């Protein structure tokens, strides 16, 4: 009986030893490759990217801290986003990368921070041209960081992620850039709830402004409503609305400069965060 246990234990020790040996020989890291998931606006050298990762060659592929490698690469190349590091057995890593997009421009002191959708600073410029081909300007935000530099992530307490809400509506960055001139953050006092609510104002190149009230609540639904209203706003030409007790017939000129409020319903017992409405709250350049 004892002999049987000895044989069993010996086999187990042998197998474990063999696995350890294989992990540090057959499964030791020997090669790292780069896979480009998007095109890049500047030429990159694969070896430079690999060297920046500081990979531990000859150690087992099972015991690597891939998060550290990702941080090393992205710190060296701020415009590179490492999607993931894939293990290709027995001994290869494939680093899948994409170029970060210049999504937002943030005024900071006497310069502008050009950031991606994650608010990572891709570059810092002295001047910025606000047009349909450039990043979207963000106004009235409080930056909590100090001593910012390229590669840092902005910390903004009142930020609402309109970028990903737009993607959920099948509106990509190029669509956003062609429509939205700037995004302004603020707050208003709500008389019904007797509290201040955060607002997000979308200022459009067309001249309209869309105020999303209580933007931290139900943002996806409100952004969808914004795009729906924007695409149909001119169908309201010739219709009458009441402003300050006076009926106004909508024209193309005053709709171009309208201020439109998007909000959720107050009755939370019957409506959830996906239920919202819009209202034209202000017109300019109109005459009775």
- The dihedrals phi and psi of 263, each to the nearest 5 degrees, come to -145, 165
Q: Is 133 helix (H, G, I), strand (E, B) or coil?
A: coil
pLDDT of residue 118: 95
Give the span between the Cα atoms of 281 and 184, in whole angstroms.
Answer: 18
Q: What is the pLDDT of residues 130-144, one digit of tens each?
A: 899 899 999 988 899
Low-confidence ranges of the chain (pLDDT < 50): 14, 17-18, 21, 286-288
pLDDT of residue 19: 53
Q: Which residues are CB-contacts of 182 (< 8 A; sequence separation ≥ 6)?
A: 130, 136, 137, 138, 139, 203
pLDDT of residue 10: 53
Helices 46-53/66-76 angle, 10° precision:
130
Q: What is the pLDDT of residues 187-223, one digit of tens each?
A: 888 888 888 999 999 999 999 999 999 998 999 999 9
C-alpha pair distances (Å), 126 with each of 55, 66, 108, 123, 131? 36, 36, 10, 10, 16
pLDDT of residue 96: 98
Give the gyration radius of the chain's Cα atoms. 27
Nearest to 181 by CA among 253, 133, 114: 133
List, in order of start, the domains of the chain with CATH numbers: 2-99 (3.10.20.310), 101-143 (no CATH), 160-282 (no CATH)
């Amino acid at each position: 009986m004892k002999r049987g246990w000895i044989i069993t234990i010996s086999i187990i020790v042998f197998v474990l030893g063999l696995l350890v040996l294989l992990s540090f020989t057959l499964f030791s890291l020997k090669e790292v490759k780069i896979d480009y998931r998007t095109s890049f606006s500047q030429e990159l050298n694969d070896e430079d990217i690999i060297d920046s990762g500081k990979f531990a060659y000859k150690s087992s592929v099972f015991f690597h801290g891939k998060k550290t490698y990702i941080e090393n690469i992205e710190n060296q190349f701020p415009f590179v986003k490492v999607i993931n590091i894939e293990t290709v057995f027995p001994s290869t890593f494939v680093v899948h990368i994409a170029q970060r997009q210049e999504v937002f421009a943030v005024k900071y002191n006497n310069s502008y921070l050009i950031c991606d959708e994650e608010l990572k600073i891709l570059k810092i410029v002295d001047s910025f041209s606000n047009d349909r081909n450039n990043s979207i300007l963000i106004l009235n935000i409080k930056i909590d960081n100090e001593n910012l530099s390229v590669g840092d992530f902005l910390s903004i307490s009142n930020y609402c992620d309109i970028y990903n809400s737009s993607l959920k509506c099948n509106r990509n960055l190029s669509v956003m850039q062609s429509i939205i001139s700037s995004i302004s953050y603020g707050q208003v006092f709500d008389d019904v709830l007797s509290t201040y609510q955060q607002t997000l104002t979308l200022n459009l190149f067309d001249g309209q402004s869309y105020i999303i009230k209580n933007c931290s609540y139900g943002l996806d639904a409100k952004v969808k409503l914004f795009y729906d209203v924007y695409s149909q706003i001119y169908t309201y030409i010739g219709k009458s609305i009441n402003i300050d007790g006076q009926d106004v017939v909508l024209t193309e000129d005053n709709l171009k400069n309208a201020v439109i409020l998007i909000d959720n319903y107050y009755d939370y017992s019957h409506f959830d965060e996906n239920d919202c409405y819009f209202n034209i709250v202000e017109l300019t350049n109109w005459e009775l």
